[in-house]
Amino acid sequence: MEITRQELDDKRLSRRLLSPSLCIILLVVVFPLLFAFFLSFQQAEPRAGGIDMRFVGLDNYIYFLKSSDLFWPSVRVTIYFTIVSLAIELVLGIAMALVLNNEFPGRAFVRALILIPWAVPTVVNARMWEWIYAGSQYGALNGLMKVLRILPPDVNKVWLGFDVPFQGVPILEPFMRWMGVTRALHMIIIADTWKVTPLVVLLVLAGLQTIPESLYEAATVDGAGFWRKLTHITLPLLRPVLLVVLVLRTMELFRVFDIIYIIMQYSIRVLGILTYEIGMKFLQFGRGAALSFLIALFILGLAAIYIRLFYTEEAL
Amino acid sequence: MDYAGYGGLLMKTSKMRNKARIMQRLRQIGLAVAVIAIVVWTLAPITWLAISSITPYIELISDRMTHWFPENPTLANFKVMFDLSKQTGQRFVYALRNSLIISSCVTIICLVAGTLAAYALARLPVRRKKELVLSLMSIRMLPTITLVIPFFVITSHIDYALMNIGSEFHLFDTKFNLIILYTTFILGFVIWIMMGFFLSIPSELEEAARIDGCTRLQALFRVILPLSAPGLVATGILAFLLAWDEFLLALIFTRSNNAITLPLFIAELGSQYITAYDQISAAGVMAAIPPVVLALLFQRFIVQGLTAGSVKG
């Protein structure tokens, strides 16, 4: 009797504790989501004091997948942005974490310092790099390149320009052109990497703490060098952490908006920018909603693939 | 063993020792170079922003090859931001105030509601717990833009209805609206991280409190919450930073000084024809100071929070 009463009380308490959050989530997440889903099957455009809606079935989705000439280029450039950023962040993040995992004077201080880029607001980061990349003689990157004699003193590079990288290289140039890659995109990838890598470093450092020192000692006795230790001990044991980083970063990169919008407005049409342009600039709510669901599907699909690829018992 | 052989052996071992010492030395130098490279890469951009913020405009646009540091350092760029007689100054002060109000309100709401929910999910029987947790996770994965369009349509409908009944109150371009919208992506995050913290506290502690005659709620407030204070601090700071950083919703739902936030103010500075990098740097430095100071002060807690939220899952 006593136990069941206790259970009943617990159930009532848990419902009470959950209800504020659930109410908020139902009202501001679930309901708008359902509404967006509904909108995605409508042709919806604003008129004075309301919106005109007409049911069009799957037309909005079909429009993007078949007839829009903006959608697939946008998918390509988003995929390029995501994959290249992810690769750089992971390699740089793991390398930095391995360095900072060593003993050296001032280690605590340096570990604190690397948090700074992570804390800088995205908008400040965007405008800061825009200023660094300024394409004339007062741009800091141009100045640095000249001081280091990489650029001749009278040349000013337009870093945020639209020239296709790897010009003249046989297969690479057409590929870059097809993907919609420009120098500006590469510069934005660097700017974004600067801000985000500290997060990767922190997570990898936390993961490194869980690897027992004895494994490395045993490997040293067996004569394993740095690379063998890295590929046979460190990376396999970091798998859970790397899975988390991959999932978190992929979804953030795939929906990127802020930094590209602030620096380039609509000139680099990744999916986030394209959705904003269609939904909020041209006010085609139905199409915008459909596109945003396509992005969400992409992200969920990617997360599912990762979890299938990396899933181990301890990973989740 | 004759002398020559003995000497040869000695020389060989000392050579080996030398080699080991050189390798050790090289390793140290390599490590030092790598650490310095990391520090420079981390600090150089933000240092340049700080230098730019105290440089007069005329020096900012001189040739970078020779001119890196200001000859006449000035605080004028900062003063402009607080000059209430000019439009920029007014807008900045309002943006700063709005950002502080909005971020604090969002943090408090999410922390209170989120902590209670996280406790229930971590410790109490909840029907369909697994489904709830999974849907919380998928909400985190949603692109903000998915919610922006329905928000926009709903907000304009509500405002139109309010206008028709002659109400003074409206949603568009208000802090209230932004606070509601920001909770959408921050609440789930807070629940997620706090759940991780609660799960890491041994449940025996709570049981002991219960045996001593505490009710569930008393145990929560007297035992569990004090123990998870670091977690609360970390989660609170992370929530504050998320709200402080938000740009897209502010871009769509604010216009005037009434609700403009710092990120929007900074994004709008300058225009196609004027590069106001003196103002951008000064405003940027000021917008970066609160999060950077918080991050440095509470570094240990934040790292805990970030790893609890993601690694332990």
Q: Pick from A104, A124, A144: which is nearest to B31 by CB?
A: A104
* Partner-chain contact B149 A49, CB within 8 Å: no
Looking at residue A135, what DSSP letter applies? Answer: S
Residue A116 with chain B: CB contacts under 8 Å:
42-43, 46, 292, 295-296
> What tokens appear for A159 in the block?
């870093």
Spatial CA neighbour of B259 closest among B87, B94, B93:
B94
Q: DSSP letters along B198-221, please?
A: HHTS-HHHHHHHHHTT--HHHHII
Please classify residue B34 by burial: count the beta carbons closer than 10 Å to its beta carbon, then call 0-12 exposed, 13-18 middle and 19+ buried. Answer: middle
Map A209-234 to HEC letters: HCCCHHHHHHHHHCCCCHHHHHHHHH
Spatial CA neighbour of A119 closest among B245, B99, B282:
B245
Amino acid at B181: L
Which residues have C-beta within 8 Å of that of residue B67, sequence separation ≥ 6? Answer: B59
Tell me how far apart the alpha carbons of residues A288 and A37 are, in angstroms, rounded to a whole number.
11
For B25-63, what is each residue's pLDDT tens digit?
A: 998 999 999 999 999 999 999 999 999 999 998 888 888
Residue A110 with chain B: CB contacts under 8 Å:
35, 38-39
Q: How many Cβ contacts (< 8 angstroms) between chains A and B?
A: 273
Q: How far is B156 from chain A (nearest CA, A)?
A: 8
Note down pLDDT in tens along chain A; length 316 residues.
Answer: 456 777 788 888 888 999 999 999 999 899 999 999 999 999 988 887 678 888 998 999 999 999 999 999 999 999 999 999 999 999 999 999 999 999 899 998 998 999 999 999 999 999 999 999 988 888 899 999 998 989 888 888 899 999 998 888 888 999 999 999 999 999 999 999 999 999 999 989 988 988 888 888 898 888 888 888 898 889 998 988 888 888 888 888 999 999 999 999 899 999 999 999 999 999 999 999 999 999 988 888 887 787 777 655 443 4
Q: Are A260 and B114 in contact (CB under 8 A)?
A: no
Closest chain B residue to A35, measured at CA: B150
Residue A117 has, within 13 A of its CA and on its CB side, a CA count of: 27
Question: Each residue of A155-170: b (16+ CB within 10 Å) or e?
Answer: ebbebbeeebeeeeee
Q: 10 Å Cβ neighbour count for B164?
A: 9
pLDDT at B212: 84
Backbone angles phi and psi of B246, in degrees to 5: -65, 140
CATH topology (fold) of A59-126+188-310: MetI-like fold (1.10.3720)
According to the per-residue pLDDT averaged within each range, which of A145-159, A244-258, B225-239, B242-256 is highest?
A: B242-256
**Unique residue bearing structure tokens 């007062």:** A138
* Partner-chain contact A292 B157, CB within 8 Å: no
Amino acid at B102: I
| DSSP-derived 3-state class of residue B174 | coil
